[in-house]
Structures are given as C-alpha cells and as structure tokens.
Structure 1
Amino acid sequence: MADNEGIDLDDQTHHDQELTDSYAHLAPTDHGRQANLVLLGCSLLQLPVWGFPISYGVFQENYASSTTDLKGNISSTGIIGTTLNGIIYLSMPVLFGLFTNKYAHYRRHAGAMGIVLLVGSLVLSSFAKEVWQLILTQGVLQALGSTLLFSSSTIYLDEWFVRRKGFAYGVMLSVKSAVGAGTPLLFGYLISKLGLRNTLRIWSAIALASSAPALFLLRPRLELSRDDRRTRRLSWRFLRHPTFYVFQASNIIFSASYGMPQTYLSSFAATILRFSAFNSALVLAGLNAPSILASFWFGLLSDGKTIWPRSRPLSISMISLLSAIGACLPVFLLWGPAANPSAEGIVLVALFAAFYGFFAGGYSAIWGGIVKELRREAEYHNEPVDTALIFGLLNGGRGIGYVAGGFVGIQLLKEGAVNSSQWAYGTKYGSLILFTGIGATLGGASVILHSRRLFQSGRP
C-alpha cells in the first residue's frame, strides 16, 4: 500500500520502490539521538513563539491603565491579542502545506526569517508612541515571525515521530503550557519593576537567545531536492470523508470558548474579586500550569495508552469527549457560582483555573491522535495522506475559533449578566461564562463518529 505521507516516512516506506538507494538507510523514527534533538529543539521554540501571545493579557491590562503614555484609542489595544493569535493560527494551514512539499528546502531560511521578524517587532514595539504602532508591530509583524518559526520547525517533528506522534506533540505542548504558566508572572514582575518598554526589550533578548540555538537542533529526516518536492502534490483526499470535518468543527467551537478564560479571567479577578495586578497574573498562570501535565497525559492517551492498567485504549473521539466534559463542568460548577471578593469566590476561581486548565489545556494534545486517526482511515481506503498538512489545518481551525471568539466575547460583555444572582452569572461576565461552558461541551461532539464503537478497533 502506498502511504504517501510526505515527509512522515515510517519503516514500511523504506521499501517503497519510488525511493532511491540514497534513502535506504534513513534514521529510525520515534527513537534515537536525532529524533530526540528535534523534539528538544521544537520544545525550546515554544518560549519565543508563544510566551508573548499567551501572556498578552498582562500587557493589555497595563496598556489600558491610566498611566500609559500611548496616543490614540487605548481600547483598540484589545485587538492586538486577537490579531496576534489569529494570524499565527490562520497562517499555519498555508505554511504547513508549503513547507511540507514545494518549499521544504526553504524551511531553515523561513525559521531564521521568523526569528528576525519576531525579535525585531518586539524591539520596535518598545519604542511605539501610538496605538497603531503597537498593533502593527505586536499584532502583525510578531505574528508573522512567530508563525514562520513555528510552522517551519514543527514539520520536522512530524517527520521524526510516527507511532509516538501523540507523545511528541504532548511533550511540545507541555512545554508550551509551562511557558504559559511562567511568562505571565515574569512579565508582571518585570513590568512592575522596569516598566513596559524595558520589559519588551528584555523579552526580545530572551526570544533571540532561546530561538537561535534551537534552530540548529532541527534536521530533516529525508533530504529531497527542490525538483523532488515540486514533482509531488499534496494529498487532499481526506476531505472526501466526514471524519476530518467533525473533528475540525469540534476543534473550532472548543477553541472559540477556550479563548474566553484566557482573555478575560485575569480581568474578572481584578474587577470582580479585586485582585492586584500581580494576583491577576497569578490566576492566568494558574490557568495554564495544569496543562503542563495534561498535554503530556492526553498525548499518551492519543498514542493508545490506557487510563488504568488492564483497561482498553480509548478511541480519539472518547478522549476528546473526556477533555470536553472535564472542561465544561468547572465552568458551570466553579466559575459561574464565583463572585464578590470573598474567600469563597477566591477558592472557586482558583479551583476553576486548576480543573479547567487541566482538561481544556490538554485538548490540543489530542491532535496527534486525530492525525493518526485520519492516517488510519486513509490506509483503510488505500489513499495517500500528508499528516503535517492535517496538523496545520487543525491549527488553522483553532485560529478561526480564536478570532470568532474574540468578536463574540466583545458582544457577550455587552450582553452582561444572564440573571440577577450574586454569582458570577449575575456580573457583566455572565453571558461570557455561559458561552464558555457550552462551547467546551460541544468540543466533544466528535464522539458521534464512534457512537457504536467506544473503544479502538481495527477499522476507522
């Protein structure tokens, strides 16, 4: 069977007669020195790529303060975070497709250009005097640099990990979660001590120091010439089947709701619970910290590991349902009933951040399992498949969700309370909280694919 999986070549493809003799002794997938170095490099790049986007809420809170010296409509700084994340995610399907195939030989150049744009945009933003300059540098240029760096580098991970793809993505996303837990505290501390502009300059230096060495750890598993890449087309046959659409729809809806706590939980803590700026940043860090373990755990589940000994592996649809239900319950049972600057409200928000952060934060770690599921389906139908392209499309779906959620969040804040209770439902965040819970629940809708088969079997 011809598994035309682009640069994701397993042991069977070694015997493919289309490969020349120079490809007969490829390094093994999933294990070995170079595979581990690629995993290390991709993990290190999570710091410069995601440190600022994940923690933008800390900067937004300071931009909106009365002490800022920026000129222009200060409320417009709210679109920087949405624009930044939106461009990063929405660009990924295109870039993953290009760097998988036609322009694969430009990956290293793209990574270097991404570093230049990323670091340069941060330095320029530290000198911004007007709001539009911040939007251009932090929202647009930084996004282009981040997505160039992330897309060109992550494809290496897809090459080197086949059977343990969920594990590899889980490790990488665990590091991303660790970045999300640590950088809000780091930024909050630096801003309080050194100010916004110096913080941006220090972060640009950190981004350069962490990204440049990581880029040298990345090596392709299979070197193909420019002509070799251009003679092969990407496979889009997976779009003929409903499986991708169901997973993608669930992914988009879940992502739209996931952006709400990421964007507004620190503001909720500051305005409703009257937290200080540092404690508000601490809440955001507490939301991201549990996903360090969750990403790794959900990644292992996606590779077929069991929840407990002697149990059978869960299908990827059931794993997504587990993440979705685990995320929606804390919204309705913990965040919704929390309000007022009381000990009870503080405890409920802390518990919400921990439980929601774990189950919602681990949702993207199941993408490795979704990719493998679509690959199995392609094998069953004797069709080629490009797994890096699918991963890029899933990231694009998350981008659609983030952007849509950004606009929805603005309207939900205008709608305000859903009732007149003393709980959080009765505050201006009430409608937003309700949307977050419903969106999390619908994130498990892919279970309809396997409604008659709850556990894995040999057929897709």
Structure 2
Amino acid sequence: MSAPNGIELVTLPPPTLAASDSHDKLSPFADPSQALPSSANPSQLGLDSQDLDTLSSEEVGRRLNRLGTRDGEDDAQGLPPVDQGRGAWGFILASFVLETFLWGFSYSFATILVFFESHDPWQKNSLSSLTAIGTVLLAVMYIMPLFILNFYRRYPEWVKPILWGSALINCLGMLVASWATEVWQLILLIGVVGGFSGAFLYAPVLMWLNTWWVQRRGLASGIVFSGMGVGGCACPFILAALLDNYGFPTMCRAWACITGAVFAGSLLFLRPRVPLAKPKGERAPWVTLRDFRFASDPIVLVMTVTSFFNSLGFIPVSLLLPIYASSLSSPGTANILVACYNISGSIGSSLTGYASDASLPWTLAVMGTVAGGLALTAWGFGSTLGAVFAFALLFGAFSQVPSSWGAAARDVAGANPHVSSMCFCWLGMFRGVASIVGPFISTGLYEEDLATDERASWGRFGFRKVIVFVGIMSSLTALGGPGVWWARRWKAQRKAAAA
C-alpha cells in the first residue's frame, strides 16, 4: 500500500503522517475495524442485524467505539500496553521489515526487467510478456487483501499457521524460479505464487496495527509504511549486484535465502495484542453484496475513476522509465533512477496526505495537472539523464493519489470503520486491475523498432506513444478535483432536501 501508503494499501502504498486517520491514508488496505474483536456481532452493539441498514455510519461507529472501550477495560490487566513497550515496538519493527522486503521488491522489478532485456534466454521475449511478471505480482498484492482480511477475521485461529506457510511458499516460489526457462513460469512463480503468499504475509500488518497503537498511531504508521520507500531505494542495488555478478538463477536463490531469514525473524515479533483464538460464538460473516452498497456513493465513483486513471499512468512509468534511461546510459544508471523514483514517491505520499486533509479537490486537480504536464514535457523532451531524473523525481511525487484515499473514505464512511476499510479495499482492487491493464497497453504502444532512434526531438527511443498515453491518463486524474467537489455538493443538497 505503498501499502501501498504501503495494503494500506499501501500507496498499497506509501506513508502519510497526518495525526488523524493517518493509517487510512498510508495503506490502500487499511482496516481500522481490527481494533475490535473479530467476533463482534450486531447483538453486542445493542441492535439487530436488520438495524444495521437503518443506522447512520456515525451511530454505528459510536457503538463500535463503545464496544472496543468496554472490551479493553475488561481485558486490560492481561494485555500488554498500547503505544509503548516491547510488544508494540516489536510489532513496528516486524511490520517495517515486511513492508521493506515485500513492497520494496515489488516496486523494484524494473531492475530485473532491464537485466532481462540484455540477457538470454529472456531477451528473445517481448517487452509486454516480461513486464507481465511484475504487473501480476503487484496486481495480486493489491487485489487480494479484501478477501484475505475477511478470511482472517472469520478464522483468527488459523492466522499464525497461514503466516508461516506463506513465508515458506514465498521463498520456495523464488527458489524454484531459479530453474525457470520460460516467461510463463516466472509469471506463475513470482507473480502469482509470490503475490498470493506476500498478500497473506502482509495482511496482519493492516489488521493489528490499530490494536497496538492508539494515541501515537500516526508515528507508528509513518514508521511502518516508510519501509516501502526504504525497500524501493535499497532493493534495486541489491538485486542489480546479484544479477550483474552472479546471474538470474543465483539471484533467485540468494533472495530466497535472504527473505527466508527476514520473514522468519519478522514473524517472531509480528504478534496481535489480543491473543488469537477460535470465536466462542458465531464467526464473523463473509463479505456479501450488501457490504458494497457504499460503492454507489458519488464520491466513491469519482475516486474509483480518478485512481484508475492515475494508476494507468503511474505504474507503466515505474516499469518502463528505467529502459528509457538505459538507452541514454548504462543499466547501472537505471537502478539509481528506480531508487530515486521510489523515494520521491514516498515523500510525495506524505505531502499528498496532508494536502488532501486540507482540500481533496484541489489536491487531485493540482496533482493531475502537474503529472500530466511533466510527462508531456520533461519526459517527452528528455534527451539527457538530468532531464529524465528530474522527471522521475517530480512525477513520482505528484502521482500519489492513493494517499488521498483517507480523506475520501472519511467523506463516505464517517465513523464507520467497516465501510472505511471496504472503501480502501475497493479502490485498491481497481489499482490492482490498472497495474495489469496499464503496462499491457503501454508496452503495446512501445515501438521497439525505434529503440535506437535518437534523432527525434520529442518521444525518443520508441516511447512517443507511451508518453502520450501516460500524459493523457495523468491529466485525466485532474478531473477528480471538480468531480469530488460536485459529489460533495450533490450529497449536501440531497441531505438538506431530506431534512
């Protein structure tokens, strides 16, 4: 979640440090409801199941808060303290490390892609098929948390065994990938297996953060989700060193060993504050169509379209810009570019979160306008490494729409944590879809026969159509500004008319 802010998504996703609702903005799959017992049911809230349809989001939120406070008072003597102590800080450390290696690797796949472009047996494959490895990995990690969180809430006693099994499967997938000779094998082993196991590993971070940290949740969230930026900066150099010195098979085996040790150490400290146990009463319900009624809210509709356009422009740049840079210089320069792009995205995510708290419409309008203009000018006319690096730094900072999801979720959900969580998961799903569609379209627009063409004054090396696509998609993001303004006004008028 950069998650980003980073499920949560996140941005599934990159850090934002706003004091209020900071966890929501940081990860695309934030789940505040996990501060409550997984077995909470309507009867505990003092209402029947049918009453959930008639209560406002604010009233449901107030009753949930009362329930959480009461449970905390009953169990306080047997639970570790919040906001301090070995358990709370151990959880932060474990979550930070998982964020660094899971999302850092996912957003550093461009380094492997540059290597594939010049080494057998991979260079014979098309660019679109090679990029599919990384895009499938990102898509699965963005889309799956909606279903995983629901499964974990329903079967809390299975969480720990699944975590250890997921860590083992993730490492085995990378290990077996070292013997792969076809692209489809890497898509299956790194994209599908790595994505699923990574999503299962990361979901508890979203579930348990709110139970360990309350008053200092902004600090905790900032530390955890800054791991994506740290990983996105460090992983390109680690992967490049292994690839250049030992080749792809050895890189896979070394990475499997590294992550195996890292995951094992992290899981020892990744513990829930409230011990996991099989619910004594009825299990939490599965997600149903009723849970998606919020999707008809005009703000959700506007943010869904806005986030989809933003992702169509952002994700292809993260994969293809290093190839553009390698046409101007050595592959080593491309690794530095990937690191800069990821770090600027982390910083931009924090700024986006603060700005969206002040004015969501203006934030979206400015981000889309600036990002679209940068693509069509700085990248379009980029004939030097300096220009390309400037574009990477600025575009990465002004493309962090997921960090504005928290402000939108507050408009939609009010004080209802369940609706807020579902809103993040909904937007994250569409970002996951865009992570497949965007690279597929952009690689189709890439003119490989012009890859060595340096004569063009605009859109060199066969990237002319790609730059146009990214510029248009990024510019369309700006329409989210007036769209959110209209949606808020429409809801206010409707509420006034109903009163």
Q: Please say whether Structure 1 and Structure 2 have the same fold, judged by a TM-score greater than 0.5.
A: yes
Cα deviation, 1:108-163, whole Å, max 9, x if unaligned, reads 33322221121111111112234433232122211221111122332223555678
CA spacing shift, 1:157–1:249, aligned 2, 3 Å: farther
Does residue 327 of structure 1 match 2:365? no
Q: Secondary structure at the match of 1:369?
A: helix
Partners of 1:258 and 1:145 lie apart in 2 by 25
Q: Report the CA distance between 1:393 and its aligned residue.
A: 2.4
Aligned-partner residue type, residue 281 of structure 1? N
Q: Secondary structure at the match of 2:392?
A: helix
CA spacing shift, 1:407–1:350, aligned 2, 3 Å: same
Aligned to 1:46: 99
Partners of 1:385 and 1:130 lie apart in 2 by 43
Aligned to 1:392: 425
What are the equivalent positions in structure 2 for 1:108-123 lying under 5 Å apart?
Answer: 108-123=160-175
Q: Secondary structure at the match of 1:405?
A: helix
Aligned-partner residue type, residue 241 of structure 1? D
Q: Report the CA distance between 1:351 and its aligned residue.
A: 0.7
Aligned to 2:485: 450
Choose the corresponding residue for 1:144, options 171, 188, 196.
196
Cα deviation, 1:32-67, whole Å, max 9, x if unaligned, reads 4455543433221123312332122222222232x4
Partners of 1:396 and 1:253 lie apart in 2 by 13
Partners of 1:409 and 1:174 lie apart in 2 by 29
Aligned to 1:439: 473
Aligned to 1:308: none
Q: Would you say the 8 A contact 1:84–1:142 is kept in 2?
A: yes
Q: Report the CA distance between 1:384 and its aligned residue.
A: 6.8
Partners of 2:68 and 2:166 lie apart in 1 by 37
Partners of 2:64 and 2:420 lie apart in 1 by 15
Cα-Cα RMSD = 3.6
CA spacing shift, 1:78–1:401, aligned 2, 3 Å: closer
Aligned-partner residue type, residue 350 of structure 1? F
Partners of 2:470 and 2:244 lie apart in 1 by 31
Partners of 1:29 and 1:284 lie apart in 2 by 40
Aligned to 2:441: 408
Aligned to 1:307: none
Cα deviation, 1:417-459, whole Å, max 9, x if unaligned, reads 9xx98333355211211221222222343322225979xx9x9
Partners of 2:422 and 2:319 lie apart in 1 by 29
Q: Would you say the 8 A contact 1:95–1:152 is kept in 2?
A: no
Partners of 1:330 and 1:396 lie apart in 2 by 27
Which ranges in structure 1 are unaligned for 5 or more consecutive residues? 305-313, 340-344
Choose the corresponding residue for 1:347, options 374, 386, 394.
386
Aligned to 1:79: 132
Q: Report the CA distance between 1:213 and its aligned residue.
A: 2.2
CA spacing shift, 1:267–1:333, aligned 2, 3 Å: same
Q: Would you say the 8 A contact 2:136–2:435 is kept in 1?
A: no
Aligned-partner residue type, residue 283 of structure 1? L
Partners of 2:362 and 2:81 lie apart in 1 by 27
CA spacing shift, 1:357–1:6, aligned 2, 3 Å: closer
Aligned to 1:125: 177
Cα deviation, 1:379-411, whole Å, max 9, x if unaligned, reads 4xxx67343333322221210111110221122
Aligned to 2:401: 363
> Mean alpha-carbon deviation: is it higher for 154-163 or for 190-199?
154-163
Aligned to 1:192: 244
Q: Secondary structure at the match of 2:113?
A: helix
Cα deviation, 1:324-378, whole Å, max 9, x if unaligned, reads 3342232123111113xxxxx2221111011112222x333333333334332xx
Question: How many pairs align?
Answer: 427
Partners of 2:111 and 2:316 lie apart in 1 by 15
Partners of 1:428 and 1:155 lie apart in 2 by 45
